[in-house]
């Protein structure tokens, strides 16, 4: 089945990619990787020692872990799906399935009764306290459950980036439903449905983690 089969309206920005930059962690992560690199250079330049291989492998392992925790988490939209990349997985949520979005300590996205999280985007603690007591309230519209955040004052998205991300994802979800983007299957009643949520593992990072861990343990016991 193709998008034409379920009546998708042509859209010139259908495959436009939007990346939502992380709200924290990159500076600390960069300093951590720089420290690992500086230590590795110092170890190599300090002459040859029996422990050099073990130290270098441990530094590589720490650097990889910093990358996975601080740099890998990310959020982006391809116009059809919202990609939530975590430390070890990437979850792809059809925009049309999203009916609730909230940014607290992390990004929370609800779709088809499930909540998906991303630590890439978070709201400052002061803003979290200001929005305490807010709750999601459903408002039925058409064949889908639309939502808005009750009790949250209107803010200038240019001043608070986390609020902009929340508002933008809500808009993309509404737009995807309006133009039936990503509807690639048909329900029992013959109505078009969004694609299912998919998840994949970060195999290169996981493989590197296993190889470096085994190498460090082998060198330690040698």
Burial of 172 (0-12, 13-18, 19+ CB in 10 A): buried
Report pLDDT for 46.
86
Report pLDDT for 10.
37
What is the domain partition of the chain in residue ranges?
18-22+73-201
For residues 133-157, average pLDDT: 41
- Cα dihedral sign, 119-134-197-174: negative
Report pLDDT for 24.
78
Report pLDDT for 126.
64
Taking 50 as the threshold, does the pLDDT of residue 12 lie above it?
no
Report pLDDT for 184.
86
For residues 166-186, average pLDDT: 92
Point out the least confidently predicted range of 68-82, 122-136, 201-215. 122-136
For residues 30-53, average pLDDT: 93
- Residue 148 CB partners (closer than 8 Å, separation 6+): 136, 137, 139, 170
Taking 90 as the threshold, does the pLDDT of residue 101 lie above it?
yes
The 3 state secondary structure assigned to 114-170 is EEEEECCCCCCHHHHHHCCCCEEEEEEECCEEEEEEECCCCCCCCCCHHHHHHHHHH
Cα dihedral 85, 175, 168, 26, rounded to 10, equals 20
């Amino acid at each position: 089945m193709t998008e034409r089969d379920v009546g998708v309206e042509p859209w010139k920005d259908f495959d436009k990619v939007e990346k939502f930059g992380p709200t924290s962690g990159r500076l600390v992560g960069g300093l951590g990787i720089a420290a690992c690199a500086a230590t590795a250079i110092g170890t190599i330049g300090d002459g040859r020692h029996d422990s050099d291989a073990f130290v270098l492998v441990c530094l590589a392992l720490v650097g990889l872990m910093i990358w996975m925790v601080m740099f890998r988490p990310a959020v982006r939209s391809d116009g059809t799906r919202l990609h939530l990349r975590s430390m070890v997985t990437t979850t792809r949520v059809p925009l049309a399935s999203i009916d609730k979005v909230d940014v607290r300590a992390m990004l929370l996205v609800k779709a088809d009764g499930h909540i998906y999280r991303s630590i890439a985007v978070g709201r400052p603690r002061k803003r979290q306290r200001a929005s305490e007591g807010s709750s999601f309230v459903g408002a039925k519209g058409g064949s889908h459950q639309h939502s808005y955040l009750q009790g949250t004052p209107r803010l200038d998205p240019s001043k608070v980036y986390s609020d902009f991300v929340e508002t933008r994802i809500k808009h993309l979800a509404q737009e995807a439903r309006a133009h039936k983007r990503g509807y690639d299957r048909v329900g029992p009643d013959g109505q078009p449905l969004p694609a299912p949520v998919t998840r994949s593992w970060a195999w290169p990072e996981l493989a590197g983690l296993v190889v470096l861990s085994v190498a460090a343990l082998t060198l330690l016991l040698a």
